[in-house]
A and B are shown apart, each in its own frame.
Chain A
Amino acid sequence: MIEPDPRPLPWLNATLVGIAPASARVKSYRFRVAFDRPMRAGQHVDVRLTAPDGYQAQRSYSIASPPGGDGTIELLIEGLPEGEVSGFFDAVAAVGDTIEMRGPIGGAFVWGPEDGGPLLLIGGGSGVVPLLSMLRHRAAAAPEIPALLLYSAREAGEAIAAGELATRARDEPHFDLMLTLTRAGGRRIDAGLIAEALERLGSPRHAYLCGSNAFVSAVAERLVEAGLDPSLIHTERFGG
């Protein structure tokens, strides 16, 4: 049952406290921010930048960190030189900066231990970010829930948090990782990979798909064809 939060969603000052590489093209930005409401894994924030003359630009970014924690959140932002906001983060933002932010936002693409499993997570490119939040939350709060991440990246160097994911797959008994690379003769997520994922995971209680629209549309179709109940399939898309 949904309990709407009647309070306005305030803009908050978030302090940038850490920047680190997360893949060849993506950096991790850690912010200290005090949300006034609980977060769920899979949600996003809105970020607002203001020029000296008052001009503003806003964008949404998925939260990579899990709920709870130390009062900081992690965003993973690709350094697109042509991007008005992503380009700012890549070229200008520095530790100590204050950025306006509000959230957490989004109530459809979310998971918590109470939602159960097994969990089938399928990400394309930077679409892995909200899934990372779910995996981190699961590992901390409900490691007994089986989960499998099927992650499609263009090449090995572009896989986000590749080291962490490999370590989790090695150390967490109920987490399984399938990484597929699409460049250099690699393989896209097709019916065969879906069948293998379902074989390894068992019948999922939830499937979460995130990536470009073309990616999510294609994978959602394959899942429905594989017999998954469409109501178990949650999607989050970006791009046209």
Chain B
Amino acid sequence: MSTRGFTGRRPPEATRERLPPGQYLTEDFPVLQIGPNPRIDLATWSFTLSEGSKPLKSWTWDAFNALPRTRWGGDIHCVTKWSKFDTAWEGVSFDALLADAGIAAPTDFLLAEGYDDYTTNVPVADLAGGKGMVATHYDGAPIPPDHGGPARLLVPHLYFWKSAKWVKGLRFTKRDEGGFWELRGYHMYGDPWREQRFTGD
């Protein structure tokens, strides 16, 4: 159904090809979160891989930063419709975390957990093979608190609510369990190119 009188302001062709459906390009970096930034002390910061309630491996900030580094550059897409092009991230890949822990992923699903008690689910297959990292740097500098620093998950090919800010761990789960937004009507997977914003999309 077309909207009477609406013609739209289409972005240039080259931009349009990079924009998933329903998205628009933004130059700034919007901030979306459910509360204040949590207070995080690097002296007590830790990152933990766990299986259910059982911890598998934890790193202090220093130990985490001694792990092999990885970089990713490209476009990111938020379910609230903005997309940002050519972002640059650096951190520790999911693969490197597993390698350092000396384990294979024990299940096919996990929940990322943040210091703000936020959670979001991600299939292991969407983190492994270089697809996801725990990022500590954005655009060459430590990630500012507003954007999830000191460390956030980065799953750039999914809507950005999956890239949990202030991440403190990844908890492997037997089933695909919904996290904070997934329990509030957001899609369980969240592929921007298939416009999986909400349940059933």
Residues of A whose CB lies within 8 Å of any CB of B are: 2, 4-9, 13, 46, 48-52, 54-60, 84, 88, 92-93, 97-100, 102, 105-109, 213, 217, 220-221, 223-224, 230-231, 233-235, 237-240
| A4 and B35 contact, CB distance less than 8 A | no
CB pair A51 B198 closer than 8 Å? no
Measured CB to CB, the closest approach of chain A to B123, in angstroms, equals 18
Q: For the complex, give the distance between the alpha carbons of A172 and B201 in Å.
A: 43
| Residues of chain B within 8 A of A60, CB atoms compared | 80-81
**What is the CA–CA distance of A110 and B39 in the complex, to the nearest angstrom?**
24
Question: Are the CB atoms of A51 and B2 closer together than 8 Å?
Answer: yes
Interface SS, A side: mixed
Which residue of chain B has its CB nearest to the CB of A8?
A: B200
Nearest CB of chain A from residue B84's CB, rounded to whole Å:
9
Tell whether, in the assembled complex, residue B36 and residue A240 are in contact, meaning their CB atoms are under 8 Å apart. no
Chain B interface mostly: loop
Judge whether B102 is part of the interface by a CB distance below 8 angstroms.
no
The 8 Å CB contact of A240, one of B28, B182, B184, B199, is B28
Q: How many A-B residue pairs have CB under 8 A?
A: 125
Q: A49 and B33: CB pair below 8 A?
A: no
Confirm or deny: B183 has a beta carbon within 8 angstroms of a beta carbon on chain A: yes
B175, CB-defined interface residue at 8 Å = no
CA distance A52 to B27 in the complex (A): 28
Contact (Cβ within 8 A) A8 B37? no
Q: How far is the CA of A168 from the CA of B74 in the complex (A)?
A: 49
Q: Does B106 have its Cβ within 8 Å of any Cβ on chain A?
A: no
> Which of B21, B30, B39, B185 meets A9, CB within 8 Å?
B185
Beta-carbon nearest neighbor of B16 in chain A = A55
Q: Supply 18 further A-B pairs (C-beta < 8 A) apart from A9-B200, A55-B10, A106-B184.
A: A4-B184, A7-B200, A8-B201, A13-B1, A50-B1, A50-B3, A50-B6, A51-B2, A97-B5, A102-B198, A105-B198, A221-B36, A224-B39, A230-B36, A231-B35, A231-B117, A233-B35, A240-B31
Q: Roughly how many angstroms separate A35 CA and B28 CA in the complex, as a whole number? A: 33
Closest CB in chain A relative to B142 CB, distance in Å: 17
Establish whether residues B81 and A108, one from each chain, have CB atoms under 8 Å apart when the complex forms: no
> Which one of A6, A92, A235 contacts B36 once the chains associate, using CB atoms below 8 Å?
A235
Cβ-based interface call for B178 (8 A): yes
Binary CB contact string for chain B from 171 to 201 against chain A (1 if under 8 A, 0 otherwise): 0000000101111110000000000011111
Interface residues in chain B, defined as those with a beta carbon under 8 Å from any beta carbon in chain A: 1-10, 21-22, 24, 26-39, 80-81, 117, 146, 178, 180-185, 197-201
Given contacts A7-B199, A8-B198, A98-B1, contact A238 B30 (CB under 8 A): yes
In the assembly, what is the distance between CA of A123 and CA of B89, in Å?
A: 33
User: What distance in Å separates the Cβ of B21 from its nearest Cβ neighbour in chain A?
Assistant: 7
Tell which of B80, B117, B184 touches A107, judged by Cβ atoms closer than 8 Å.
Answer: B184
Contact A108 B34 (CB under 8 A): yes
Contact of A57 (CB < 8 Å), options: B24, B37, B39:
B24
Residues from chain B with Cβ under 8 Å of A100 in the complex = 1, 3
- In angstroms, how far is the closest chain A Cβ from the Cβ of B126? 21
A230-B184 in contact given A51-B8, A105-B198, A240-B26 (Cβ < 8 Å)? no
C-alpha spacing A174/B182, complex, angstroms:
36
The chain B residue sitting closest to A97, CB to CB, is: B4
Among A51, A221, A234, A238, the most chain B Cβ lie within 10 Å of the Cβ of A51
Tell me the complex Cα distance, A113–B36, Å: 23
B3 touches A239 (CB 8 A): no
Specify which chain B residues have a CB less than 8 angstroms from the CB of A55 in the assembled complex: 8, 10
